[in-house]
Amino acid sequence: MNTLTIEGWKKAQRTSKAVPVEMIHFRVNEHYHLLLEQAEEALLENGQNEMLIDIDISTMELKTSRDCGNLTDCQLRVYLSKENQRGHFHLVGRSISDGSLIYSNAIMVDQLG
C-alpha cells in the first residue's frame, strides 16, 4: 500500500482559476494500483486521452484540510504524458460543502511500484 501526500487544488464553480489547498493525503492499495496500471495499458492501446476510475473513499484513508473539506464523487483520473506516453494519475472529487472541484497534483503510475 502506498501512502501519498500531495499538493491539492480547488476550483470554485464560478471561477476559472484554481487555488492551492493544503496537502491531500490518501492511500493507493494494491487493487487500485493494478487498476491504474491496466488503465495506462488501455490508454496506450486504444489512443484515448484519459480514463476515470471510480474509487471507494473508505479504502483510501483520505484526509483533506479544512480549506478543502470532505469530498464526494472521488475518482482517479489517469492520462498519458504527451512527452513520453507514461501514465500519470491524480485524485479528483467535489467538495461536499460547495461543490468545488478538488484535485491533487499528478503522480506517475510507475512511482507506485
Strands 2-11 and 71-80 turn out to be unpaired
Confidence of residue 12 (pLDDT cuts 50, 70, 90): confident
Summarised one tens digit per residue, pLDDT across range 66-82 is: 888 899 999 999 999 98
Rounded to two decimals, the pTM is 0.90
- Separation between Cα atoms, residue 98 and residue 71, nearest integer Å: 10
Average pLDDT estimate for 13-22: 84
Torsion of CA 18, 66, 29, 107, to 10 degrees: 30
